[in-house]
């Protein structure tokens, strides 16, 4: 019994000394694709994200997070004019993607002061694709042509000012956007996303 009480006391003491913060956030995203095929142009449009991460550690820390996002990419492609007429016509549509991002990063506090912190984070993430829509339905791709998830490398810089946290981020896709289908094998596009979030610091920040 005494050993159990001693063990619980040690765990409680360690927990009291550990650095832990919870950070709910909301922000904007700009998502495009790489390696556009001939006759196609990708352009990032405005989207949103909502979620939270946690920081576990001191100057060197772990930062797992979960974010729900809705990103938009404007796609312009050239297509032959229908009815056999000579020439081409440009088709424009917005590719809208809803995903759940699961992120695990390792971070380091470059500046660590009472009123202001600056940190750098880097690590892998996985995007679970929940839905893919076309606003006008003019693209030849449909939801079944897309992979259901993608691995990425995420990097970011964070600024903490009292209760508030600001974080610009970038996510570089490692997985193909489209399925490895014979009709799509020539399109090796991957996601590339930029974002910024504003949130709150909740928890022990006495470093």
Q: Spell out the domain ranges in the chain.
A: 25-204
The terminus-to-terminus CA distance of the chain in angstroms comes to 34
Residue in 16, 29, 27, 4 with CA at minimum distance from that of residue 127: 29
Mean pLDDT by 10 residues, the chain (207 residues): 45 54 97 91 96 96 98 85 61 90 97 91 97 78 89 98 96 94 85 97 71
Dist CA 164 CA 200 (whole Å):
5
Dist CA 180 CA 200 (whole Å):
41
- The CATH number of domain 25-204 is 2.40.160: yes
Q: CA torsion sign, 28 to 30 to 31 to 34?
A: negative
> Global pTM?
0.84
């Amino acid at each position: 019994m005494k050993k159990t009480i001693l063990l619980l006391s040690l765990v409680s003491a360690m927990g009291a000394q550990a650095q832990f913060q919870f950070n709910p956030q909301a922000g904007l995203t700009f998502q495009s694709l790489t390696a556009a095929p001939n006759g196609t142009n990708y352009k990032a449009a405005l989207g949103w994200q909502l979620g939270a991460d946690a920081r576990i550690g001191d100057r060197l820390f772990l930062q797992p997070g979960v974010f729900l996002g809705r990103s938009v990419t404007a796609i312009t492609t050239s297509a032959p004019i229908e009815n056999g007429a000579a020439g081409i016509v440009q088709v424009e549509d917005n590719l809208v993607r809803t995903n759940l991002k699961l992120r695990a990063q390792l971070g380091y506090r470059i500046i660590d002061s009472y009123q202001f912190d600056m940190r750098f984070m880097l690590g892998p993430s996985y995007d679970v694709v929940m839905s893919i829509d076309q606003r006008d339905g003019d693209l030849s791709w449909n939801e079944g042509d897309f992979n259901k998830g993608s691995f990425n490398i995420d990097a970011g810089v964070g600024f903490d000012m009292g209760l508030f946290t600001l974080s610009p981020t970038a996510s570089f896709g490692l997985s193909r956007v489209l399925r490895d289908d014979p009709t799509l094998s020539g399109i090796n596009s991957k996601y590339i996303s930029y974002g910024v979030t504003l949130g709150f610091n909740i928890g022990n920040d006495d470093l």
